[in-house]
């Protein structure tokens, strides 16, 4: 999501874009382990290892304790470098040891993660703020991508913390002892976002946020909604009222397993692996020690930028997990995860770039792999795929111990020329994809209808896959294709590609345009809640998109709370799903909705 580009320019977009939606949103939103066990299977082998586990976390992981001098100055230094470095190469993780810190304002720019190092957010308290605002972009927050906050307690200075983010900016395992404002200063345009496993004692105010997903959390109250606000397993969530207000509320999340995280046990770094929950509701850390297991850092190969894919694969073959420290990793062969229970954890938006058209990361059809905290950036030579979970035809039952893909983001173009036919493919059964943004860039460097060609965003072939927080945007053909049985999606945010040159360029046989979300014709069971697709065909506003959603018309394929929006009349939808739903019209930027399908 970003404001629409002006013409074919690849320059930073002007503030004038998407005025209609900004005005509409603003008008609606003005402020009126007591014993942590290590799994036996993860124990180091007796054979000596050619590659050592553990080690230091490198120069771009900055660790503070309450006695560290000059903390604010260091935070400010990183922010100055990263504030507007949207496509830069800097990557940082700011880690705070357990204790209490006072008088801090950690402003977060691009590719910056902040996190506490306790087992609970309340172990690390900042009397101050962790702030995301949009001063760098004249009060427009729609491009505040790629930053995160995790595992901290905040006592905001003025009672409310500002977190004005867009895509790929998770707020996980946080305790805000006050309110949370999701809009920029001045209540400008905003397009986010994602909260999980967090407690906000006061009110969450989205104000101008167009859409948001909150999972397995606890909130004091929720202020408003613009187009699409989705909640699952959230204590204090507003009642189901879509489309007015546009709240989609599920009492629980069917299956969830929180993201792995780094913490300190005494002076030893360990990685905590939260356990799987079914019918989850509320935070995991509310009553004493969180439930799960942990691994010592000695069982991880601590990778530094510049290491080869061959070395990473050697570490995996030896039985080590991977911890990728902040930076950019070029891989000339796939990173191949073959062992059940393997953890691949990135810090500070560690970024994989495939060279020579390879797939960046492949996972075998095994139990319990955890991929988290990575950005995969397509290279200039077309890759058939960028991430594959399970081989084609995978059919093993992983219900007891699924693979999880969390805060793994994909980008094609923007930082430079990039191409990939399909970005992310899920073949393994029961995989949980928990928060992803798969983005064919609409601005930056190397952007154009054929320059950063990417036909398909997210493809699910495996059965029983669950996605919680799916953001997929701007693909040349289908953004999402779902061929597996019994798939479920809770929250979907999409924009069709802005830059289609003409109607013929998106013609799909006899259908005008490729659906944003396509369920395969042979699928008999599927369900989705809170799904939205937007169009902004600014290169050719005469383009018509027949529908946002396409699915078999059968009783077992169910959708709840769908919407399509034409942003300022730049292109139109004829229907919402299949042949159902009213067309968008004029320049009103008012959603067309379908509450239940079929």
What is the distance between the alpha carbons of residues 594 and 598, in angstroms, rounded to a whole number? 10
CB 273 within 8 A of CB 370: yes
Q: Is the previous residue joined to 540 through a cis bond, with omega within 30 degrees of 0?
A: no
285 Ramachandran zone, left/alpha/beta (phi>0; psi -120 to 50): alpha
DSSP-derived 3-state class of residue 477: coil
495 as an active site residue: the answer is: yes
What is the distance between the alpha carbons of residues 71 and 130, in angstroms, rounded to a whole number? 13
CB 245 within 8 A of CB 237: no
User: How do beta strands 420-426 and 383-389 pair?
Assistant: parallel
What is the distance between the alpha carbons of residues 480 and 473, in angstroms, rounded to a whole number? 9
The runs of H, that is alpha helices, within 14-67 are 19-29
What letters, b where the CB count within 10 A reaches 16 and e where it falls short, cover 565-582?
bbbbbbbbbbbbbbeebe
What is the distance between the alpha carbons of residues 435 and 469, in angstroms, rounded to a whole number? 4
What is the distance between the alpha carbons of residues 584 and 572, in angstroms, rounded to a whole number? 6
DSSP-derived 3-state class of residue 552: coil
CB 448 within 8 A of CB 420: no
Q: Is the previous residue joined to 359 through a cis bond, with omega within 30 degrees of 0?
A: no
CA 42 to chain centre: 28
Half-sphere exposure of 419 (CA within 13 A, CB side): 12
Question: Which pair of tokens denotes residue 169?
Answer: 């900016």
The burial of 54, by beta-carbon neighbours within 10 Å (0-12 exposed, 13-18 middle, 19 or more buried), is given as middle
Catalytic residue from among 495, 527, 574, 579? 495
Tokens 């760098």: give the residue.
136
DSSP 101-119: EEEEEEE--TTEEEEE-SS
User: How do beta strands 268-274 and 261-265 pair?
Assistant: antiparallel
What is the distance between the alpha carbons of residues 66 and 87, in angstroms, rounded to a whole number? 32
Question: Which pair of tokens denotes residue 479?
Answer: 């953004």
CA 216 to chain centre: 16
User: How do beta strands 218-222 and 199-205 pair?
Assistant: parallel
Active site residues: 495
């Amino acid at each position: 999501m970003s404001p629409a580009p002006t013409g074919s320019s690849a320059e930073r977009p002007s503030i004038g874009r998407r005025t209609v939606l900004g005005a509409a949103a603003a008008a609606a939103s003005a402020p009126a382990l007591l014993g942590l066990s290590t799994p036996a299977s993860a124990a180091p082998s007796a054979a000596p290892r050619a590659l050592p586990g553990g080690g230091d976390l490198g120069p771009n992981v900055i660790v503070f304790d309450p006695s560290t001098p000059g903390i604010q100055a260091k935070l400010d230094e990183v922010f100055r470098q990263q504030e507007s470095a949207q496509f830069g190469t800097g990557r940082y993780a700011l880690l705070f040891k357990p204790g209490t810190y006072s008088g801090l304002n950690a402003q977060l720019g691009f590719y910056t993660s902040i996190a506490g190092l306790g087992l609970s957010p309340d172990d690390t308290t900042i009397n101050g703020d962790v702030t995301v605002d949009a001063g760098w972009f004249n009060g427009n927050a729609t491009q505040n991508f790629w930053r995160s906050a995790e595992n901290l307690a905040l006592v905001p200075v003025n009672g409310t913390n500002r977190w004005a983010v867009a895509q790929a900016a998770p707020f996980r395992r946080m305790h805000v002892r006050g309110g949370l404002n999701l809009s920029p200063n001045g209540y400008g345009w905003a397009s986010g976002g994602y909260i999980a496993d967090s407690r906000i004692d006061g009110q969450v105010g989205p104000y101008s946020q167009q859409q948001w997903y909150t999972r397995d959390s606890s909130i004091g109250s929720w202020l408003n909604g613009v187009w699409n606000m989705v909640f699952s397993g959230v204590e204090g969530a507003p009642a189901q009222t879509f489309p007015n207000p546009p709240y989609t509320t599920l009492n629980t999340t069917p299956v969830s397993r929180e993201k792995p995280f780094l913490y300190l046990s005494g002076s030893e770094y360990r990685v905590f692996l939260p356990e799987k929950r079914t019918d989850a509701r509320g935070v995991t850390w509310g009553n004493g020690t969180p439930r799960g297991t942990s691994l010592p850092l000695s069982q991880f190969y601590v990778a530094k930028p510049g290491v080869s894919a061959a070395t990473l694969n050697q570490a995996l073959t030896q039985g080590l997990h991977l911890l990728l420290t902040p930076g950019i990793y070029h891989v000339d062969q796939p990173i191949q995860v073959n062992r059940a229970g393997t953890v691949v954890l990135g810090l500070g938006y560690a970024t994989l770039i495939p060279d020579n058209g390879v797939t960046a990361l492949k996972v075998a059809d095994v139990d319990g792999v955890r991929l988290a905290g990575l950005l995969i950036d397509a290279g200039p030579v077309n890759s058939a795929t960028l991430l594959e979970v399970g081989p084609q035809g995978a059919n093993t039952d992983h219900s007891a111990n699924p693979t999880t893909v969390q805060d793994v983001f994909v980008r094609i173009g923007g930082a430079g020329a990039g191409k990939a036919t399909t970005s992310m493919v899920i073949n393994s059964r029961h995989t949980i994809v928990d928060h992803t943004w798969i983005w064919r860039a609409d601005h930056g460097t190397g952007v154009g209808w054929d320059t950063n060609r990417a036909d398909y965003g997210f493809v699910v072939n495996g059965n029983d896959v669950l996605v919680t927080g799916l953001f997929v945007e701007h693909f040349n053909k289908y953004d999402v294709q779902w061929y597996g049985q019994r798939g479920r999606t809770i929250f979907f945010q999409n924009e069709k590609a802005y830059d289609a040159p003409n109607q013929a360029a998106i013609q799909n046989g006899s259908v005008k345009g490729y659906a944003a979300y396509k369920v395969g014709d042979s699928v008999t069971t599927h369900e989705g809640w809170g799904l939205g697709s937007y169009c902004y065909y600014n290169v050719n506003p005469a383009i018509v998109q027949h529908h946002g959603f396409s699915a078999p018309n059968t009783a077992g394929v169910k959708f709840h709370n769908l919407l399509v929006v034409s942003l300022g009349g730049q292109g139109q939808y004829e229907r919402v799903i299949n042949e159902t739903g009213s067309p968008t019209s004029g320049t009103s930027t008012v959603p067309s909705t379908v509450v239940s399908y079929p």
